[in-house]
Amino acid sequence: MIDLNLSIAMGDYDRTRPIADGRVKIDGVEPTCMLLSPEEMFFRAFRHQAFDVSELSLSSYSISVARDDPHYVALPVFLSRAFRHTSIYIRTDKGIEKPQDLKGKRIGIAEYQLSANVWVRGILEDEYGVKPSDIVWVRGGMDTPGRPEKMKIDLPADIRIEQAPEGETLNEMLAAGEIDGFIGPRWPRCYDEGHPHVDRLFPDTVATAEDYFRRRKIFPIMHVLGVRRQLADAHPWLPGALLKAFSQSKQIAQAALGDTSATKVTMPFVEDNLRRARQLIGPDIWTYGLTPNVGVLETFLDYHYAQGLSPRRVAVEELFHPATVEAYSL
């Protein structure tokens, strides 16, 4: 059998590199791998269906499924996950000391429908009683003016969104005190540079996230892996082959983290943080597959629908190719 030549767009992560460098072979596939930023990858995938296989924003993909117009079908390969308590930044001179103080504030966002922002808004409402309608959202580019939403969205009438002034970036506005905070997956440059009046809302984001996980058992999912629906229909073996290969790739990354002979990541305390994460989450700290992640996905889809991003409440099973819902075992 001649291998399929497929383009694969994904982030440059330890869990994807074994596929990019050829250590893991995808059965029946000759891949052309592109390691791209989420912004470029998602824009090209959702605007132009540019890749055969692509990492996808869970939020954008859920919108396409809810609208019955998905060009991709997802696999339960969760290439990006993050506790988003780290994603709320505030001006410390605006009277914001707790989440409830965000009510009535002007908060910058790059895109309303970003998966990270869905999670943050859901957590703020669920845990602290702060509704999306309690905040004035200021939309714009972080470091480049005029960033568009990847997909057209229709939001509830009580959601207030302002556009950043022409020619201004959210980073500049936050640094100047023209907005009261920022929510997003990337930290603002002014925070990274040590601005004296910009900080995270939660002083100890790790302790806050650990408490959240102990109570809710949620490690938030940001991205899934998608394959062109037409390809999956034409080659029904392909989704299973991709799930198998990406699972093997993740296993290699996790084994490397646990090899303490020499640290594989350019970061001190890796072994200590790995032990801490395993004590919290369990031996597999980054699970793929549907069954162990149903609760996380149900919560996300509840948030997505409640926030007006999905025109209907999508069922978890609608997201994934049926050949990847169950896996074989020996």
The pLDDT value recorded for residue 328 is 65
Fold of domain 84-216: D-Maltodextrin-Binding Protein; domain 2 (3.40.190)
**Is residue 178 packed enough to be buried (19+ CB in 10 Å), middle (13-18) or exposed (0-12)?**
middle
The pLDDT value recorded for residue 148 is 83
Residues paired with 251 in a beta bridge: none
The pLDDT value recorded for residue 330 is 56
Alpha-carbon span 255 to 249, nearest angstrom:
10
CATH 3.40.190.10 in the chain is located at 4-81+220-324, 84-216
The pLDDT value recorded for residue 263 is 85
Q: Are 291 and 320 in contact (CB under 8 A)?
A: no
3-state secondary structure of 108: strand
The pLDDT value recorded for residue 260 is 85
The C-alpha torsion from 6 through 10 and 12 to 13, rounded to 10°, is -110
Residue 182 burial (CB count, 10 A): 26
Residue 79 φ then ψ, to 5°:
-70, -20
The pLDDT value recorded for residue 262 is 87
Residues paired with 55 in a beta bridge: 225
The first and second tokens of residue 122, run together, are: 């859901």
The pLDDT value recorded for residue 242 is 98
The pLDDT value recorded for residue 151 is 83
Q: Are 28 and 238 in contact (CB under 8 A)?
A: yes
Return per-residue pLDDT of the chain as tens, 330 residues: 689 999 999 999 999 999 999 999 999 999 999 999 999 999 999 999 999 999 999 999 999 999 998 999 999 999 999 999 999 999 999 999 999 999 999 999 999 999 999 999 999 999 999 999 999 999 999 999 988 888 889 999 999 999 999 999 999 999 999 999 999 999 999 999 999 999 999 999 999 999 999 999 999 999 999 999 999 999 999 999 999 999 999 999 999 998 888 888 899 999 999 999 999 999 999 999 999 999 999 999 999 999 999 999 999 999 999 999 887 665
Would you give the distance in Å from CA 257 to the centre of its chain? Answer: 22
Q: Which CATH superfamily, name and number, covers 4-81+220-324?
A: Periplasmic binding protein-like II (3.40.190.10)
Residue type, 299: T
Residue type, 319: L
Residue type, 297: L
